[in-house]
Amino acid sequence: DAGVIQSPRHEVTEMGQEVTLRCKPISGHNSLFWYRQTMMRGLELLIYFNNNVPIDDSGMPEDRFSAKMPNASFSTLKIQPSEPRDSAVYFCATSSDRLRGEQYFGPGTRLTVT
Amino acid sequence: AQSVAQPEDQVNVAEGNPLTVKCTYSVSGNPYLFWYVQYPNRGLQFLLKYITGDNLVKGSYGFEAEFNKSQTSFHLKKPSALVSDSALYFCAVRAISTSGTYKYIFGTGTRLKVLA
């Protein structure tokens, strides 16, 4: 199994630009999570989906952030417009009902907004 | 509010000595409890979990954790630390939110440094 796949691995963009991060879950996993990690704020859960439906988006910082899961094998996290304070490592993680909460993390996307 | 606390930002231990990384939680109901490890420039990796049953749970790389319901703790332990265990460790909880959906809460992480 390839594990959770995230792209791009690194993204450098200028303030005001749109950024789209992508995640492909492990086949058969029906829960998908987006996290953000910074030195200042630690690891934050932004949103999670179950069976492609958003369940908890209370961690999404503001309206500039949006996430979609159009099907079971793909999800995006979009930031529009981006700001320097969005610079962080963004992780996607997936799980299944059988795993009972155990999550498998992708390698992350390191985002730098200048 | 439901929460997970890792009271130590960093734990230092000599190689070969036992290690403990502490975690306490405050949630309603019967939570599922997890430990994850993160090595530099990597995503988190699952170590072990407690759902029900035996209070001592064994996981990957020789780690174990003890669930204590009365103290609402789930401390991570290893009898003999290795230098390669040096990493960032996260405690996490899956609880039920007020809306009836699952709530996932992570601690702030504890950096473990094993000294040769």
Query: Model confidence over A23-38: pLDDT tens digits?
Result: 999 999 999 999 999 9
The answer, yes or no, to whether residue B16 has pLDDT greater than 70, is yes
Exposure string for B13-34, b = 16+ CB within 10 A, e = fewer = beeeeebebbbbbebeeebbbb
Structure tokens at B19: 């290690």
Question: What is the residue-averaged pLDDT of chain B?
Answer: 94
Q: Which one-letter DSSP state was computed for residue B58?
A: E
**Interchain CB contact of B44 with A (< 8 Å):** yes
Taking an 8 Å cut-off on Cβ atoms, the answer to whether A42 and B109 are in contact is: yes
Residue A2 pLDDT: 80
Task: Give the model confidence (pLDDT) of A40-59 as tens digits.
Answer: 889 999 999 999 999 999 99
Supply the pLDDT for residue B29. Answer: 84
Confirm if A111 and A21 have CB atoms less than 8 A apart: yes
CA distance B17 to chain A (A): 28
Closest CA to B73 of B95, B94, B99, B55: B55
Inter-residue contact B113 to B89 (CB < 8 Å): no
Mean pLDDT of all residues in A98-104: 90
Q: Could you say which of B32, B101, B104 has the minimum Cβ distance to residue A100?
A: B32
B106 and A108 within 8 Å at the Cβ level: the answer is no
Model confidence pLDDT, tens digit, residues B18-58: 999 999 999 988 889 999 999 999 999 999 999 988 999 99
- The answer, yes or no, to whether residue A1 has pLDDT greater than 70, is no
Task: Tell me what the pLDDT averaged over chain A comes to.
Answer: 95
Q: Measuring CA to CA, how many Å separate B25 from each of A101, B33, B82?
A: 16, 9, 27
What's residue A19's pLDDT?
98
DSSP for residue B79:
S
3-state secondary structure of A13: strand
Of B44, B104, B105, the CB nearest to A105: B44
pLDDT at A59: 92
- End-to-end Cα separation, chain A, in angstroms: 36
The C-alpha atoms of residue B77 and residue A94 are separated, in whole angstroms, by: 26
Chain B residues closer than 8 Å to A101 by CB: 32, 34, 49, 94, 102, 104
Task: With beta carbons less than 8 A apart as the criterion, state whether B2 and B98 touch.
Answer: no
Q: Residues, chain A, total?
A: 114
Quick one: pLDDT at residue A20? 98
Judge: B49–A108 Cβ closer than 8 Å, yes or no: no
Nearest to B34 among A4, A55, A102 (CB): A102
pLDDT grade for A75, boundaries at 50, 70 and 90:
very high
